[in-house]
Structure 1
Amino acid sequence: MKLLSERLAATCLLVIFALTVLFHGLIITGVIPFGMVWGGRLQTREQMLVFETLSILLNGLMLGVVAAWAGRWKVALNPRILRIALWLMAGLFLLNTVGNLLSTSAVEKAVFTPVTLLLTLLCLRLALGIRPVAARPQA
């Protein structure tokens, strides 16, 4: 049962990270206005491009960490490195949750605060769990 919960946490994280990359791509293309992200503090398109590009890169990296941890991306990485990355991700999302609570954007507070809190809990679940057997490198 415990392994199932970790698999579910990993699957949820993978889906959320993929949707987040798509969301930030829609911001870069102008489909979604950038005033509703980053606490409503971005002033120019150039600022938005820097922040959104960084966000896409970080979310892609985190997607890779979770995929490697769950065995969905077959790459030989030290499990300790992956576990540290998951702890760092949990800390980042906890800080992001606080930032969302302090946001001037009502949408960011209402929508993204619960999402980042969920991401914190899911990352903690993986960081505290046992890496699935299927994800472990074969000897």
Structure 2
Amino acid sequence: MKRIPEKKATFLLLTILSIVIAFHLLILTGLIPFEIVWGGRLKNTSGMVIFEIISIAINIAMLLVVCLHGGIIKSNVKPGLIKGFLWIMFFLFLLNTIGNLASNNIYEKVIFTPLTVLLAILSLNLAVSKTGRN
């Protein structure tokens, strides 16, 4: 399998994660109905708020990891630790893909399944990269 160039994978991950964060903020504000996420299993606004805040926090943390790996944010974090977090991201996106496939919501199956597959591939690409500009 041909690998995606590291800069391109970094750019795509940062772009998609930023869009995902914006999407979850729109759900949190009520501009997008929460029934289309979390497998359609959320039943009330208070449950949605908790899940959305957790989701936003996780996505921000992943954005930070990609920024550290790409050298966008300079730090003394060891490259091995960043690579470890990229592997965790890969496995989380794989699990998320399985969850999307099992969803009761057609939007999650049709739109978010391919998206999480792409995010998994991009995370794996960075996790196995030889470099990392941090």
Q: Deviations over 1:9-39 (max 9, x none)?
A: 0100000111111000000000000000000
> How is 1:1-139 mapped onto 2 (pairs within 5 angstroms)?
5-132=5-132, 135-136=133-134
Q: How much does 1:76 deviate?
A: 1.6
Tell me which amino acid in the other structure corresponds to 2:113.
T
Q: How much does 1:68 deviate?
A: 0.4
Tell me which amino acid in the other structure corresponds to 1:80.
G
State the distance in 1 between where 2:24 and 2:73 align.
23
- When structure 1 is superposed on structure 2, of 85-94 and 70-79 the one drifting more is 70-79
The list of structure 1 runs, each at least 4 consecutive aligned residues, that deviate by more than 2 angstroms after superposition, is: none
State the distance in 1 between where 2:8 and 2:78 align.
22
State the distance in 2 between where 1:3 and 1:113 align.
21
Tell me which amino acid in the other structure corresponds to 2:55.
S
Aligned residue pairs, count: 133
Tell me which amino acid in the other structure corresponds to 1:28.
L
Q: RMSD value over aligned CA atoms?
A: 1.5
Q: How much does 1:130 deviate?
A: 1.8
Change (3 A) 1:4 1:114: closer
Change (3 A) 1:4 1:94: closer
Q: How much does 1:131 deviate?
A: 2.5
State the distance in 2 between where 1:106 and 1:3 align.
30
Change (3 A) 1:42 1:3: closer
Q: Identical aligned pairs, as a percentage?
A: 44
Q: How much does 1:3 deviate?
A: 9.7
Q: How much does 1:4 deviate?
A: 7.4
Q: Deviations over 1:43-92 (max 9, x none)?
A: 11010000000000000000000000000111221111100000000000
